[in-house]
Amino acid sequence: DVKVTQSSRYLVKRTGEKVFLECVQDMDHENMFWYRQDPGLGLRLIYFSYDVKMKEKGDIPEGYSVSREKKERFSLILESASTNQTSMYLCASRPLGTKNTGELFFGEGSRLTVL
């Protein structure tokens, strides 16, 4: 089975802290995604990575950066956390061979609270 693992299920950070959210997938998928989920807003794309070292901004990239040094790992970085970044963060992956038609495989999410 495809497994997408997010390093932390729950995090509590203080305003101004640097936050790292890690995501690892074990199925050699090229595409990886970071979404943010908020009530009433659904899932909004923060960043997308086509492949190693390749990234594309999503709909809400402000305040976030990403790193994809290895194919299996996609990290989301909050350089200076703010209270409006309190949210559920979801990582997902997808194989390139599906030509954009394939379903996403999601991790269990990381619920971040910024105080």
Binding site for another protein (CB under 8 A): 9, 31, 33, 35, 40-45, 48, 50, 56, 58, 88, 90, 92, 99-109, 111
- Which of 24/107 has CB closer to another protein? 107
Q: Name the residue among 62, 63, 25, 66 with its Cα closest to residue 49.
A: 66
Least distance (Å) between residue 85 CB and another protein? 18
Least distance (Å) between residue 100 CB and another protein? 5
Least distance (Å) between residue 68 CB and another protein? 14
